Amino acid sequence: MSNSPTKESVPKLAPHLTTPIQDPPSPRTHRALRRLQSAHALGSHQSNNNYQPSLITQQHKQALQRTLSPAVNAHALSHHPSPAPHHSRVRSNSDAANMTPPNSGAAARRPALALGKRPIAADALSLDRLIRDGPPDGDLVGALESARLKILDQGIKSDTDGMSSLRIYVWLVFLNAPVLETDAYLALIHRGASPAYSKIRNDTFRTLATDPLFRRRVSEASLIRLLNAVAWKLHDAKEERAESLAKAGSKLTHTANQHGSPELQSSTAAVKSRARALTLTTEGSDTGASEPGTYVQGMNVLAAPFLYAARSEAEAFVAFHRFITNECPGYVRGAMDGVHKGLALVDKALAIVDPKLSLYLTGKGMNAELYAFPSVLTLCACTPPLPQVLRLWDFLFAYGAHLNILCIVAQLVIIRNSILSSPSPTKILRSFPPLQAETIIEVTLSIIKKIPDDVYAEIVSHAK
């Protein structure tokens, strides 16, 4: 959710559904998508004198200023050979960090895609070869954009169970996951039970319990190890923050003693008190806390697709840890403030996209807090079937995980007739219908442009 494609750079495709959202159909070929993006680029050049470079353009300039070397790929672990050789990567898939709030005196503007000419060299390669061989001519930003369009247009080749030897490497690339040696993961495992271990054990046995594909491929022991290792990493990060605060407090004490300032001494005491609070890592300490915790209920379901798609636990660990710490830290804080912000945005976006449906649900006392909490927290991983979850996640990692909010709205739009004709929509929304990833993606793309810039900015940054 920082440095991801902007709203205007996401291709707009019409859904093949009978819904109130009717956009002109557009061909889903690379040539057509290139023409569509060329039109976006031309539109951006014809804008007013206040035009600013797009995030992609800024990324490109930054990439060209660096000396890009064929560095080691983070994900080719020694005894789990990967089809993807080693390439350095820049951040690709979220734009919260660079998202600035709209000016109060003018309409919010987001930079359009301004790449100019499409990277034809990257388009000529298959997704598998693009991941394996890296960007042709060193055009990293162009290769990333081409990979996004390939995922949108062709998807990632997989079998009927959703298994693909390529998928985990595509995810790792878009997450810009760091290098991790297998031994580093094993060292976390060998530390034994983390402070959150009992909470983890209370959840893992029921993770996707009714999904035979997941139960056949991923053992509970594997899920416990992954979550316990992540809990240790988050615990260590908390301790590092506490030590940093303690050092800052020690400096203030020294300064206060030198100058005899009671204000500084008081501030020092507050800093030390905060540092002590951060070191509490008992099970109950995460509940309701504003600081990042080590485990919250629901992380087990969020971790499940990573384990299912990965070729090793170490790969799943580095991808999952990167995702929750960089993409959605607000989802795994004790208070889950990011999830609650996301739920409020589901209500807000639905009111914009489909006012009639929104008013009907509101009249029945049905807000997103009552029916969408699992879908927001787990990026729809709570809704089967699992192969469709993986396909939806391909799209979310390519274009920004924040789009999950609009994917939930899209699911409501798809079943709007059933909801409106039901005197008790609670029964329908108690569990969402089985995921149909392609349909959800198409409806999501069609409603993006209906979202005002200020609301879209909130969606982008809500999970931070």
Is 226 inside any structural domain? no
* Residue 446 banded pLDDT, cuts 50, 70, 90: very high
Does 117 have pLDDT greater than 70? no
In whole angstroms, what is the distance from residue 375 CA to residue 383 CA?
Answer: 8
Is 463:331 a contact under the CB 8 Å cutoff? yes
Cα 60 to chain centroid, rounded: 22
In whole angstroms, what is the distance from residue 343 CA to residue 458 CA?
Answer: 12
Q: What is the mean pLDDT of the chain?
A: 76
Is 262 inside any structural domain? no
Cα 401 to chain centroid, rounded: 3
Average pLDDT for 103-109: 35
Find the CATH number of the domain harbouring 451: 1.10.472.80
Place of tokens 């820049």: 90
Please tell me which residue, 247 or 234, carries the higher pLDDT value: 234
216 CB burial (10 A radius; 0-12, 13-18, 19+) = exposed
> Which range is least confidently modeled, 24-33, 212-221, 342-351, 400-409?
24-33
Is 208 inside any structural domain? no
Q: What are phi and psi of 203, to 5 degrees?
A: -110, -35
Q: Which of 101, 107, 304 is nearest to 219 (CA)?
A: 304
What are 132-178's pLDDT values in tens digits? 888 888 888 889 999 999 999 999 999 999 999 999 999 999 999 98
Contacts of 210 (CB under 8 A, 6+ apart): 384
Average pLDDT for 96-123: 44
Does 274 have pLDDT greater than 80? no
What are 19-28's pLDDT values in tens digits? 444 443 444 4
Is 127:156 a contact under the CB 8 Å cutoff? yes
Average pLDDT for 284-296: 55
Contacts of 171 (CB under 8 A, 6+ apart): 306, 309, 319, 393, 394, 397
* Residue 260 banded pLDDT, cuts 50, 70, 90: low
- For the ranges 6-10, 36-40, 73-77, 321-325, the maximum mean pLDDT occurs at 321-325
Does 202 have pLDDT greater than 70? yes
Domain count, the chain: 1
> Which range is least confidently modeled, 154-163, 244-253, 258-267, 337-346?
258-267
Is 261 inside any structural domain? no
Please tell me which residue, 272 or 295, carries the higher pLDDT value: 295
pLDDT at site 53: 43
Is 245 inside any structural domain? no
Is 260 inside any structural domain? no
Is 321 inside any structural domain? yes
SS3 of the chain: the string is: CECCCCHHHCCCCCCCCCCCCCCCCCCCCHHHHHHHHHHHHHHHHCCCCCCCCCHHHHHHHHHHHCCCCCCCCCCCECCECCCCCCCCCCCCCECCCCCCCCCCCCCCCCCCCCCCCCCHHHHCCCHHHHHHHCCHHHCHHHHHHHHHHHHHHCCCCCCCCCCCCCHHHHHHHHHCCCCCCHHHHHHHHCCCCCCCHHHHHHHHCCCCCCCHHHHHHCCHHHHHHHHHHHHHHHHHHHHHHHHHHHHHHHHHHHHHHHHCCHHHHHHHHHHHHHHHHHCCCCHHHHCCCCCECCCCCCHHHHHHHHHHHCCCHHHHHHHHHHHHHHHCHHHCECCCHHHHHHHHHHHHHHHHHCHHHHHHHHHCCCCHHHHCHHHHHCCCCCCCCHHHHHHHHHHHHHHCHHHHHHHHHHHHHHCHHHHHCCCCHHHHHCCCCCCCHHHHHHHHHHHHCCCCHHHHHHHHHCCC
In whole angstroms, what is the distance from residue 453 CA to residue 445 CA?
Answer: 15
Is 130:146 a contact under the CB 8 Å cutoff? yes
Q: Which domain holds residue 133?
A: 7-192+297-461
Is 314 inside any structural domain? yes
pLDDT at site 179: 84
Structure tokens at 394: 């391909």
* Residue 288 banded pLDDT, cuts 50, 70, 90: very low
Task: Read off the amino acid at residue 70.
Answer: P
pLDDT at site 92: 38
In whole angstroms, what is the distance from residue 398 CA to residue 9 CA?
Answer: 12
What are 346-357's pLDDT values in tens digits? 999 999 999 999
In whole angstroms, what is the distance from residue 387 CA to residue 409 CA?
Answer: 21
Structure tokens at 238: 């908390």
Q: Is 310 left (phi over 0), alpha (psi -120 to 50) or beta?
A: beta
pLDDT at site 257: 53
